[in-house]
Amino acid sequence: MKGIDFKTSGPFKKDDDWISCYQQPHWKRPGHRGGSRYNLYRAAVALLIFMAFWVVRETHSPWGLEAKETLKSVLTSEWNYQPALERVVQFGLQIANTDWPLFNAVQPVVSKPQQGNVSVMLPVPVSGKVVRGYGMTIDPVDGMERFHCGIDISAPVGSAVRAVRDGRVKRTGDSAAVGKYVLLEHDQGSFTLYGELARVLVSEGQQVQAGQNIGEIGVEGDISGGGLHFEMRENNKLVDPLTKLQPLN
């Protein structure tokens, strides 16, 4: 499943450092449990989430808007209350501008202002039509609303997938979540991810140029008829690719 938080701390040491963030949530839906302790726990979680929403509602900063989307993602994608509880508490601490080492949660998804000419739009990775956008979208697999970390581009099978920027191949692999993928590192904290490929045409450590073929479109993913899952990160934070790419449609 695409759309779970990206772990930005530390170097990539093995395959699951990147791909584990896409695993389908494995927590089971809470069944019937008896006892006052469980009911008290649920009440505390509900109160904490309510308070977090209230604080975020009064926050009009860019981070506050991102927090609203992230809280929605937490509540729609996680059935186990404990991970949600930890993340909501972290949001509250960050809103209060407090840095307490209570949890090893990721930092808010906020990109720093970019240097240089921001008006220069990047070339598209493949010609096609955007069939699923960035942000809160309906998951075509189960019909639930979740946070989608990138965009899905429908394209004919066999179409060439091209690097949008110069960079180095940080990782290639195959996962149940995004199929065959290529992860490119462009500079410190800047990455692009190309997933659901039929073929990977580059190897780890290889230097690539913008416009270079790095893979081919396949039908292994959840994009009907074949396509590409594409993500962008700047300063280790997710960004909407459509704000950086030349028009696709």
Per-residue pLDDT tens over the stretch 111-124: 343 444 445 799 99
| 153 & 233 share domain | yes
| 199 confidence band (pLDDT: 50, 70, 90) | very high
Check whether residue 165 and residue 214 sit in a common domain.
yes
Is residue 66 domain-shared with residue 166, that is, in the same domain?
Answer: no
Q: Please indicate, yes or no, if residue 43 is contained in any of the structural domains.
A: yes
Residues 136 and 227 reside in one and the same domain: yes
Q: Check whether residue 142 and residue 198 sit in a common domain.
A: yes
How far is residue 202's CA from residue 184's CA, in Å, rounded to a whole number? Answer: 10
Give Cβ neighbours of residue 227 (< 8 Å, ≥ 6 apart). 126, 128, 131, 152, 153, 154, 155, 196, 217, 221
* Total of domains in the chain: 2
* In contact, 178 and 150? CB cutoff 8 Å: no
Query: Is residue 25 over pLDDT 50?
Result: no
Same domain, 146 and 239: yes
Higher-confidence residue of 197 and 105: namely 197
Beta-carbon contacts of residue 180 (< 8 Å; ≥ 6 apart)? 172, 173, 174, 195, 196, 197, 198, 199, 200, 215, 218, 220
Cα 176 off chain centre by: 16
116: in domain: no
> Does residue 86 sit in the same domain as residue 141?
no
Examine residue 23 and state whether it is found in any structural domain, yes or no. Answer: no
Q: What is d(CA 234, CA 5) in angstroms, rounded to the nearest whole number? A: 15
Task: Indicate whether 153 and 215 sit together in one domain.
Answer: yes
Distance CA 216, CA 126 (A): 9
pLDDT in tens, 207-246: 999 999 999 998 877 788 899 999 999 999 999 999 999 9
For the chain, the average pLDDT equals 70
Please determine, for residue 8, whether its predicted confidence score (pLDDT) is greater than 50.
no
In a domain, 100, yes or no: no
pLDDT digits (tens, 9 = 90+) for 158-168: 999 999 999 99
CATH number of the domain encompassing residue 204: 2.70.70.10
- Residues 169 and 235 placed together within one structural domain of the fold: yes
Domain of residue 48: give its range.
Answer: 31-95
Provide the whole-model pTM. Answer: 0.58
Angstrom distance (rounded) from CA 217 to CA 202: 14
Domain presence at residue 8: no
- 95, 118, 139 — which closes off a domain? 95
Tell me which amino acid residue 209 is.
Q
| 134 and 76 assigned to the same domain | no
Is residue 119 assigned to a domain? no
Same domain, 140 and 43: no
Residue 172 placed within a domain: yes
- Per-residue model confidence as pLDDT tens digits over 122-147: 999 999 999 988 888 877 777 777 78
Q: How much is the pLDDT for 42?
A: 64
Shared domain for 69 and 159, answered yes or no, is: no
